Chains A and B, each alone.
Chain A
Amino acid sequence: MQVLRHPIAYRLRSILFGGRARHGVVPSAVLYAVLFAIGFVYLYPLLYMFITSLKSPADLLNPMVQWVPTEFYTGNYVKAFRVLDYPRTLAASALVSVIPSILQTFVASLVGYGLARYRFWGKSLILLLILATFIIPPQNTVIPQMLTYRRLGLLGNPLSLILPALLGQGYRSAIFILIFYQTFLSLPRGLEEAARLDGASDLRIFFTIAVPAAIPAYIVSFIFSTVWYWNETFLTVIFLEGGVTTLPMQLSKFVQAYENLYPPGVVNIFDRLNEAVKMSGTFLNILPLLVMYFILQKWFVESVERTGITGE
């Protein structure tokens, strides 16, 4: 114990374990170790996917090759690119996620603004119903919609996703309405009231004052909406099957599409479907989202902390 009271030992102790003024080295090291461990586990499926996608057929069969492929093999990607019909499905995915997202974001902001700024009878009922639309599982409403679309000849047409978005019933619309509701509640009303006294109409006030003030909420909503529409497959398969094929839809019938292009009886054994090709297809599927995420990550993470998505 005598040693610990020595000034140098004391300094050392404060550097290692932290004191009043600083985090110590040891707690920090532990923190980083834990975070790196969790981060690795978290990214494990992605790493596995990426590494496997680069393995040549020989590497796949070789039990010695686990994490480092013996060669940089891109053949899987060439095949997956063809099987996914990449340019066409990519364009389709972009189309059916971006257009509904724009409409959904805009309509959600209108509704959120109406709820945040005006007093009217039945407002709490509407808020309750908005929450209900978030809870109701899609399979409880999808069949009549599908039958109606079939009667109207809209099955397979992107309109079948666009129409609900246009009327505020798009995929997870409730979340976006609540984001805008929160955003507009937290914005000061002063400027809007001044404009109203000057005789501006309500729509004009909305477009010239409220919309510019809520730009971050628009960006966050649009990005999330695009991502969720992109990844949504339950409704897209039912509504678009036979018309438009998106990337995730093509991925879910990857085996079938592969065997159409490379019939198993005809091609040689190295061109048979293997997990490396499947993983290449999966990676190509998420690649556009990864690119988007790394470009826009500031908007994904930081503004969510600020826009008050918690909705208390």
Chain B
Amino acid sequence: MRVPNVFRREVGLRTREALQGYGFVLIWILGFALFTLFPLVETFRYSLNQVTVTAEGIRLSYLQWANYTRALFTDPSFVELLIGYSIETVVSVPVVLIFSMIIALFLNRGFALRGLFRTIFFLPVVITSGPVIKELTAQGAASAPGIANVPAVVEFLAQLPRAVRTPVEYLLTSFILILWFSGVQILIYLASLQKVDKSLYEAAAVDGASGWEMFWKITLPSLSTATVVNAVYTIITLSHFSENKVIRYIYDQTYNVHGGIGYASAMAFLYFANMVSLLAIVYLLLTRRTKKESA
């Protein structure tokens, strides 16, 4: 049944290519169904039920949205923790972005100790883990050296309204930790800086632009994609970090008599929704900004 038809053969090649492609990604599709999609749907189902763990398995009794309303309106700590997390994230993202951009700009210049500094600034990526951070914070080693304990600063902070004080305090006490989350971002900025066309700077220099002008008109617009990538990466890393207070709370509630799996699942979804809206807000802010700039 071999038909030497060009059209047929073309179709055959296309199908063959697609089948081979599916062959390569099949293992991932299987894994996605088993380890992501199915558990995600199950967790959602738990979140609508009261879940009791028994010797044979689990028993569900349908509650509609009761777990969700409980988390949002009855639970005294969940919403507060969620707001705290959102504020901390919103404060941390610009700090990480600005810091990693400055360091990347430094490292992008050729100078003698470049390798040493690159090693230093990337080090936290390698050693940052929940328990290590917890020990360091407990010892007060994570705050910007000394600043948070200076009496004048403490007094000044005490006079601020609470809404302003919390973020500022967070910034002071965990300043180094925030910086420690910038390792990968520095690399992404560096990679992006090295792709900028050098002739742009030469042309600008011929036209008499200063370094300051070149930064705002050439460097910053070229880094816009990297900035979006970095912002998203920062939010996700901070939100998945195992010492995150909301995550700890959800985890504790899972094994709590009064909480249980159903309640914890509902909170997990609320947390997820909150994180996605943070991502969306930051994404929109950054992309609108860059669109305006290029217009």
The distance in angstroms between the C-alpha atoms of A32 and B116, with both chains bound, is: 12
Task: Identify A248's interface contact among B38, B53, B121, B129, CB under 8 A.
Answer: B129
The reply to whether A310 and B191 form a contact with Cβ atoms under 8 Å apart is yes
Which chain A residue has the least Cβ–Cβ distance from B124?
A42
Contact with B along A137-173 (1 / 0, CB 8 A): 1111111110100010000000000011011110000
Check: A211 CB closer than 8 A to any chain B CB.
no
- CB atoms of B40 and A141 under 8 A apart: yes
Q: Is A24 located at the chain interface by the 8 A CB criterion? A: no
Q: Which one of B17, B18, B20, B188 contacts A309 once the chains associate, using CB atoms below 8 Å?
A: B188
Of the listed stretches A9-17, A71-79, A257-265, A296-304, name the one at the interface; the rest are far from the partner chain: A296-304
Which residues of A sit under 8 angstroms from B120, Cβ to Cβ? Answer: 39, 42-43
Q: Are B240 and A137 in contact (CB under 8 A)?
A: yes
Mark out the residues of chain B between 135 and 161 whose CB falls within 8 Å of any chain A CB in the assembled complex: 135-136, 138-139, 141-142, 144-145
Are the CB atoms of A143 and B191 closer together than 8 Å? no
Report whether B126 and A251 are in contact in the complex, using a CB–CB cutoff of 8 Å.
no
- Closest residue of chain B to A308 (Cβ to Cβ) is B191
Structural contact, B122 and A312, CB atoms closer than 8 A: no
Among A114, A137, A147, A166, contact of B24 (Cβ-Cβ < 8 Å): A114
Main secondary structure of the interface of B (DSSP, over half): helix
Q: By the criterion CB–CB under 8 Å, are A45 and B176 in contact?
A: yes
A183 at the interface (CB under 8 A from B): no
Whether B261 lies near A119 (C-beta < 8 A) is: no
Selected from B139, B188, B264, the residue in CB contact (under 8 A) with A279 is: B139
Chain A residues, Cβ within 8 Å of B122: 297, 300-301
Contact A144 B38 (CB under 8 A): yes
**Which residues of chain A (154-200) have a CB below 8 Å from chain B?**
163-164, 166-169, 177
- Are A305 and B131 in contact, with the CB atoms below 8 A? no
Task: Kindly state whether residue A121 has any CB partner on chain B within 8 Å.
Answer: yes
Q: Is the CB of A143 within 8 A of B32?
A: no
**A136/B121 contact (C-beta < 8 A), A114-B23, A252-B130, A310-B191 known:** no
Q: Does A91 contact B (CB under 8 A)?
A: no
- Are the CB atoms of B139 and A48 closer together than 8 Å? yes
Give the residues in chain A near B123, CB-CB below 8 Å: 42-43, 46, 293
Q: What CA separation (Å) do A254 and B132 show in the bound complex?
A: 11
| A103-127 interface (Cβ within 8 A of B) | 107, 110-111, 113-115, 117-121, 123, 126
Residue ID in chain B nearest A148 by CB atoms: B39
Contact A305-B187, Cβ < 8 Å, known A143-B39, A227-B125? yes
Distance (whole angstroms) from the CB of A230 to the closest CB of chain B = 7
- Specify which of B27, B103, B122 lies most central, judged by the most chain A CB atoms within 10 Å of its CB: B27
Stretch touching chain A among B165-173, B196-204, B265-273, B287-295 = B265-273
By a CB distance below 8 angstroms, the chain B residues around A206 are 24
**Nearest B residue to A293 by beta-carbon distance?**
B126
Q: A252-B131, A311-B229 are in contact. Are A305 and B190 (CB under 8 A)?
A: yes
A119 touches B17 (CB 8 A): yes
Tell me, yes or no, whether A4 is within 8 Å of chain B by CB.
Answer: no
A contacts with B, residue count (CB < 8 A): 91
- Select which of B25, B118, B145, B229 is within 8 A of A126 by beta carbon: B25
| B136 and A49 within 8 A (CB) | yes
Could you say which residues of chain B place their CB within 8 Å of the CB of A306? 191
| Chain A residues, Cβ within 8 Å of B121 | 39, 42
A41 at interface (Cβ–Cβ under 8 A)?
A: yes
Q: Which residues of B contact A282 (CB under 8 A)?
A: 131-132, 135-136
Q: Which residues of B contact A52 (CB under 8 A)?
A: 139
B210 at the interface (CB under 8 A from A): no
Q: How far is the CA of A285 from the CA of B144 in the complex (A)?
A: 23
A251 to B188, CA, bound (A): 32
Asked if B268 contacts A126 (CB within 8 A), the reply is: no
Q: Considering the complex, give the chain A residue whose CB is closest to the CB of B190.
A: A305
**Is A309's CB under 8 angstroms from B187's CB?**
yes
In the complex formed, the residue of A with least CB distance to B261 is A143
- The reply to whether A312 and B225 contact each other, CB–CB distance below 8 Å, is yes
Cβ of A118 and Cβ of B268 under 8 Å apart?
no
Minimum distance in angstroms from A164 CB to a CB of chain B: 5
Q: Are A169 and B36 in contact (CB under 8 A)?
A: yes
Q: By the criterion CB–CB under 8 Å, are B126 and A111 in contact?
A: no
A232 CB to closest chain B CB (Å) equals 7
Contact A120 B135, beta carbon cutoff 8 Å = no
Chain B positions within 8 Å of A312 at CB level: 225
For A215, the chain B residues whose CB sits under 8 A away are: none
Set of chain A residues within 8 Å of B22, measured between Cβ atoms: 114, 120
A205 smallest CB distance to B (angstroms):
10
Q: Which 3 interchain pairs have the tightest Cβ spacing?
A: A114-B24, A167-B31, A118-B21
Beyond contacts A44-B145, A142-B39: 15 other A-B pairs, Cβ-Cβ < 8 A, are A39-B117, A42-B180, A115-B21, A137-B275, A140-B39, A141-B39, A145-B35, A151-B57, A169-B35, A231-B129, A234-B240, A278-B139, A297-B119, A300-B126, A309-B184
User: Chain B: residues with CB nearer than 8 A to chain A?
Assistant: 14, 17-25, 27-32, 34-36, 38-40, 42-43, 46, 53, 57-58, 103, 106, 109, 111, 113, 117-132, 134-136, 138-139, 141-142, 144-145, 175-176, 179-180, 184, 187-188, 190-192, 194, 225-226, 229, 236, 239-240, 242, 247, 250-251, 254, 261, 264-265, 268-269, 271-272, 275-276, 279
Question: Can you offer 18 A-B residue contacts whose CB atoms are under 8 A?
Answer: A41-B176, A42-B123, A48-B136, A117-B24, A120-B22, A136-B36, A137-B268, A140-B272, A142-B39, A143-B254, A145-B39, A147-B53, A168-B32, A231-B132, A248-B130, A286-B132, A301-B187, A304-B191
